[in-house]
Amino acid sequence: MTSLPYRIVEHPADTGFEVWGDSVARLFEAAAMAFFDIMWRLGPSRKGPPRIIEVTAGDREELLVNFLEEFHYLYDAEGLVCTGVEILTITERKVTARAWLRDFNDAMDLELLSVKAVTYHQLFIGKKNSTWEGRVFLDI
Amino acid sequence: MQELNVHNLRQIDRYRWLVPRQGKMRTDGMVFLDKRLLEHIKNDKSITQVANVAWLPGIVGRSLAMPDMHQGYGFPIGGVAAFDPERGVVSPGGVGYDINCGVRLLRSSLSRDEVIGEVENLVTTLFANVPSGVGSKQRNRKLDKNELKQVLNRGAQWAVQNGFGTRDDLLHIEESGCLDWADPAAVSDRALERGQAQLGTLGSGNHFVEIGFVETVFEEELAQGIGLFPGQVTIIIHTGSRGLGHQVCSDFLRLLQHASKKYGYELPDRELCCAPVHSPEGQEYLAAMAAAANFAFANRQLITAAVRRTFEQVFGLGASKMGMELVYDVCHNIAKFETHEVEGRKRELLVHRKGATRAFPAHHPKVPEAYQQTGQPVLIPGDMGRYSYVLVGTDRALRETFGSTCHGAGRLLSRHAAKKAAKGHNVVRELADMGVVVRGAGRATLVEEIPEAYKDVEDVVRVVHEAGIARKVARLRPLGVIKG
């Protein structure tokens, strides 16, 4: 069994996750995976054509918040869930990703947690030895 | 930033603890707790957060926290802070993501005995009439953006003009259900898009509609003044501004991160980002926040209409025949301009309440005519199995806490711990054994919201009552609950 590249962190009123990867790109992909796993349990589906997602920010931490918020918005406003994401390019202030999105399906998908927002609370991205580590808390 | 904990507190009396000014704090902090509640927060960061708020420019008086305080984002939950509008700041972190999350209470002329045989039916009908749950949406009511902007301009007044209540309702809502400085133009397209299908929906998490009854009256005269009597059926509605409000907060946290740098503020936490009240950024946030607050007022008004319709369907009588009147509607997460006396001088201040309730006393000009003799009703929901409280505001609250008190019980267990505690239990059946019929949109929400997951709200209410920052009027016991 492959272990997941994230760990859920909880306090009484908080849910968040710690995440890691061998590059910033892998870290962002792992954060997206953690975020989706917290929000949904999705049924099987065939991968449709991907959509290009482009997000900008003032620094790397804010970029991670904005990146996750993008998927949150697509879900809350358009009812879209993400079944896969691949970072194409990433700098301190801009990320471009390929994301596979589809409509949420009441019959086979389960909503696990209502997330109000991705927060800046104890937000962190850093490099320890050769591993990139990050931490994100969600308002729920 | 220095991490503070309970050892940094200096006890003033049984319920008041000072967080002495140190480092870059501009003022002291003050928290209202007893020793039992102190135990609950000893491992979280809420005391540090009280101290962090005291860093903010233009803070007037102390950085405060109510007895249901716990760790939040930026401000602690239960945090109250007032700022000078000329020299001070506004911070989205002092309002929170669920802008104008709040509670309203309806009373009726029905008695517990008259509804007890219909609770199941009421809960099922209510569940059908109020869209609930994660991402809940109105199937047949998606407002176009122009109509939505009307909602954002006029709040509960829009709802009443469109047939979702009476003019009398508006007299019993904080600020009459409309913050008149709202400007929908300050609200992003994304926020509008998230709100278009969510007006009149409950949402998820700790949001609920509860049918209950007045179990205990503590002060007969006050209860009569609020129109409450023992055995009377009541309804509590707890929800906020849904995705629209969350998006407004996220949008402005982003904008104000940059503003904080522009104005040269040194902040201990990014979630405390802020801008001068009179700056373009500060004014834009306040205009958007007020618009989101108005959405929340309208949201609770539409759910009120659904509650009245539910009772009409079940009992075959008009809502007015059943005396279904609005007692009051309070905001929990808001920043508002209010006049307060500071060191003997009346000053206009921008008061932030994040997980705290306004609690103005009798004869205060902002208290509705109906409550001039009693003080403003304060509604404190508990968990879904136990009880909720009706309190009134006091002079002491006005003097000590900018007229603020607690807002609820506060969580005790994380969601994961609650799930673990509920494992092997049939939550619905156990609550039914306690006399509470529950319908939840998802099992996940129900198990996360088990009574054991929350502090006993009585512990919180005892502190505000004995500290004099609110006064107990009545305790309400649940009969039926729909959870988001």
Residue B58 has pLDDT above 60, yes or no: yes
Q: CA angle, A14 as apex, B253 and B51 as ends, to 5°? A: 65
For residue B286, is it within any domain? Answer: yes
Local confidence band at A11 (pLDDT 50, 70, 90 cut-offs)? confident
Tell me the mean pLDDT in the region B184-203: 94
d(CA A93, CA B30): 40
pLDDT tens readout for residues B423-445: 888 888 889 999 999 998 666 67
For residue B479, the enclosing domain spans 6-483
Which pLDDT does position B44 carry in this prediction?
Answer: 87
Query: Hey, are the CB atoms on A116 and B246 less than 8 Å from each other?
Result: yes
CATH homologous superfamily of A13-139: Archease domain (3.55.10.10)
Interface test with chain A among B3, B69, B132, B134, by most A beta carbons within 10 Å: B134
For residue B153, the SS3 value is helix
Q: Quick check: A114 contacting B, CB < 8 Å?
A: yes
Domain count along chain B: 1
Contacts of B194 in chain A (CB under 8 A): 73, 76-77
- Ordered DSSP codes for B113-138: HHHGGGHHHHHHHHHHHS--STT---
Q: Which of A15, A58, A111 sits opposite B134 (nearest CB)?
A: A111
Contacts of A10 in chain B (CB under 8 A): 414-417
Contacts of A116 in chain B (CB under 8 A): 97-98, 246
Query: Hey, are the CB atoms on B254 and A62 less than 8 Å from each other?
Result: yes
Q: What is the CATH number of the domain that holds B212?
A: 3.90.1860.10
Q: Quick check: A12 contacting B, CB < 8 Å?
A: yes
* Closest chain A residue to B192, measured at CA: A77
pTM for this predicted structure: 0.95
Q: Quick check: B139 contacting A, CB < 8 Å?
A: no
For residue A126, the SS3 value is strand
For residue B1, is it within any domain? Answer: no
Tell me the mean pLDDT in the region B317-341: 97
Query: Hey, are the CB atoms on A12 and B442 less than 8 Å from each other?
Result: no
Query: Hey, are the CB atoms on B253 and A120 less than 8 Å from each other?
Result: yes
With beta carbons less than 8 A apart as the criterion, state whether B390 and B378 touch.
yes
Residue B33 has pLDDT above 90, yes or no: yes
Query: Hey, are the CB atoms on B190 and A15 less than 8 Å from each other?
Result: no
Local confidence band at B135 (pLDDT 50, 70, 90 cut-offs)? low
d(CA A50, CA B156): 42
Interface test with chain A among B39, B148, B201, B250, by most A beta carbons within 10 Å: B250
Q: Quick check: B254 contacting A, CB < 8 Å?
A: yes
* Closest chain A residue to B99, measured at CA: A116
Which pLDDT does position A53 carry in this prediction?
Answer: 97
Q: Which of A117, A123, A137 sits opposite B249 (nearest CB)?
A: A117
Residues of B identified as active-site: 407
pLDDT tens readout for residues A21-51: 999 999 999 999 999 999 999 999 888 889 9
pLDDT tens readout for residues A54-99: 999 999 999 999 999 999 999 988 889 999 999 999 999 999 999 9
Residue B291 has pLDDT above 90, yes or no: yes
Q: Where are the domains of chain A?
A: 13-139
Local confidence band at A3 (pLDDT 50, 70, 90 cut-offs)? confident
Which pLDDT does position B7 carry in this prediction?
Answer: 80
Q: CA angle, B12 as apex, B9 and B14 as ends, to 5°? A: 100
Residue that wins the pLDDT comparison between B168 and B411: B168
Give kind and range of the element (H or E) at residue B89: strand B89-90
Query: Hey, are the CB atoms on A114 and B74 less than 8 Å from each other?
Result: no
Local confidence band at A1 (pLDDT 50, 70, 90 cut-offs)? very low
Strand-strand pairing, B102-111 and B232-239: antiparallel
d(CA B314, CA B480): 14
Where does residue B433 rank: exposed (0-12), middle (13-18), buried (19+ CB within 10 A)?
exposed
Contacts of B72 in chain A (CB under 8 A): 13
Tell me the mean pLDDT in the region B196-201: 92
Mean pLDDT of chain B: 94
Residue B89 has pLDDT above 60, yes or no: yes
Residue A13 has pLDDT above 90, yes or no: no
Of the CA atoms within 13 Å of residue A108, those in its CB half-sphere come to 8
Give kind and range of the element (H or E) at residue B44: none
Which pLDDT does position B443 carry in this prediction?
Answer: 63
Residue B77 has pLDDT above 60, yes or no: yes
ipTM score assigned to the predicted complex:
0.91
Both structure tokens of B277: 């009240």
Query: What's the gap in Å between the CA of A103 and the closest CA on chain B?
Result: 13
For residue B361, the SS3 value is coil
User: Residues 442-481, chain B: which have Cβ within 8 Å of A?
Assistant: 442, 444-445
Query: Hey, are the CB atoms on B254 and A8 less than 8 Å from each other?
Result: no
Contacts 24+ apart (CB under 8 A), B84-87: B84/B58, B84/B60, B84/B277, B84/B347, B84/B349, B84/B350, B85/B277, B85/B278, B85/B337, B85/B348, B85/B349, B85/B350, B86/B58, B86/B277, B86/B278, B87/B57, B87/B58, B87/B276
Both structure tokens of B208: 């609920």
Count CB pairs under 8 A between chains A and B: 102
Local confidence band at B43 (pLDDT 50, 70, 90 cut-offs)? confident
Which pLDDT does position A111 carry in this prediction?
Answer: 85
Query: Hey, are the CB atoms on B73 and A119 less than 8 Å from each other?
Result: yes
pLDDT tens readout for residues B354-377: 999 999 999 999 999 999 999 999
Query: Hey, are the CB atoms on B257 and A62 less than 8 Å from each other?
Result: yes
Which pLDDT does position A112 carry in this prediction?
Answer: 85
